[in-house]
Amino acid sequence: MERPSARGPILVGSRTVARIFVSHAGVDEPAARRIADALREAGHEPWLAEDEIPTGARIPTAIAQALEDCAFAVVCLSRAAVASGWVKHELDLAVMRQFGRDETRVLPIRLEDVDPPAVVAHIKYDDLFPGKQGFQDGVARLVRSIALHEGQPAPPQRAPARAMEASAEDYRRAVAEQHGFLLTPAGAIPIGEAYIDISLWEDAKAAASARPAEERESRNDAPRVSLEQQLLGSRRSALILADPGAGKTTLLRYLAWKTATTDVFGTPLYVHLGRWPLRGGSPAGVIEAAVDDAAGGASSAEAQRPLLDALESVISRDGALLLVDGIDEAPADALRPMIECLVALRRRVGRRLRLVVASRPTGDLQALSSLSLGAPLRLCGLDGVQRSAIVRQRLEKLGRAEGAHDLLRRLQRDSDLRWLSRNPLLLQLMVRLHT
Cβ contact 250:183 at 8 Å:
no
The last residue of one of the domains, among 97, 116, 149, is: 149
| Tally of structural domains, the chain | 3
Distances in Å between the Cα of 112 and the Cα atoms of 38, 293, 360 are 19, 40, 39
The last residue of one of the domains, among 333, 363, 379, is: 379
Non-local CB neighbours of 223 within 8 Å, separated by 6+ positions: none
Q: Are residues 179 and 279 in the same domain?
A: yes
How many whole angstroms separate alpha carbon 376 and alpha carbon 204?
6
Q: How far is CA 54 from the centre of its chain?
A: 24
Q: Answer yes or no: is 162 within a domain.
A: no
How many whole angstroms separate alpha carbon 339 and alpha carbon 342?
5
**What is the pLDDT at residue 363?**
60
Q: Are residues 244 and 264 in the same domain?
A: yes
The last residue of one of the domains, among 362, 379, 396, is: 379
Distances in Å between the Cα of 119 and the Cα atoms of 96, 142, 395 are 10, 20, 16
**What is the pLDDT at residue 241?**
87
Q: Are residues 399 and 366 in the same domain?
A: no
Q: Are residues 93 and 192 in the same domain?
A: no
Q: Answer yes or no: is 319 within a domain.
A: yes
Q: Are residues 345 and 213 in the same domain?
A: yes
Q: Answer yes or no: is 427 within a domain.
A: yes
pLDDT per residue, tens digit, the chain (435 aa), is 333 333 444 433 334 568 899 999 888 888 888 888 888 877 788 999 888 888 888 887 888 888 888 888 899 998 888 887 777 767 777 766 665 544 678 899 998 888 888 777 777 888 887 665 567 778 778 887 887 776 544 333 344 444 455 678 888 888 888 888 776 666 667 888 878 777 787 765 544 443 444 544 454 455 566 777 766 665 578 888 888 888 888 889 999 999 999 877 789 999 887 765 665 557 778 888 888 878 766 555 566 778 888 888 888 888 889 999 888 777 777 777 888 888 888 888 888 888 899 888 876 677 787 888 877 888 888 888 889 998 998 888 777 888 899 999 999 999 888 998 998 888 888 887 776
How many whole angstroms separate alpha carbon 370 and alpha carbon 313?
25
**What is the pLDDT at residue 364?**
63
Q: Which of 376, 374, 372, 308 is nearest to 343 (CA)?
A: 372
Residue 117 is classified by DSSP as: P
Q: Answer yes or no: is 156 within a domain.
A: no
Give me the CATH number covering residue 298.
3.40.50.300
Residue 325 is classified by DSSP as: E
Q: Are residues 14 and 56 in the same domain?
A: yes
Q: Are residues 365 and 425 in the same domain?
A: no
**What is the pLDDT at residue 373?**
82
Q: Are residues 411 and 317 in the same domain?
A: no
**What is the pLDDT at residue 284?**
78
**What is the pLDDT at residue 280?**
53
Q: Are residues 427 and 388 in the same domain?
A: yes
Q: Which of 122, 129, 37, 40 is nearest to 76 (CA)?
A: 129
Q: Which of 379, 363, 157, 63 is nearest to 246 (CA)?
A: 379
**What is the pLDDT at residue 103?**
62
Q: Answer yes or no: is 340 within a domain.
A: yes
Q: Are residues 79 and 121 in the same domain?
A: yes
Q: Answer yes or no: is 3 within a domain.
A: no
Domain that holds residue 48: 10-149
**What is the pLDDT at residue 277?**
61
Q: Answer yes or no: is 158 within a domain.
A: no
**What is the pLDDT at residue 187?**
60
Q: Are residues 95 and 199 in the same domain?
A: no
Q: Answer yes or no: is 339 within a domain.
A: yes
Give me the CATH number covering residue 44.
3.40.50.10140
The values of phi and psi at residue 382, to 5°, are -60, 140
Q: Are residues 254 and 323 in the same domain?
A: yes
How many whole angstroms separate alpha carbon 349 and alpha carbon 330?
24
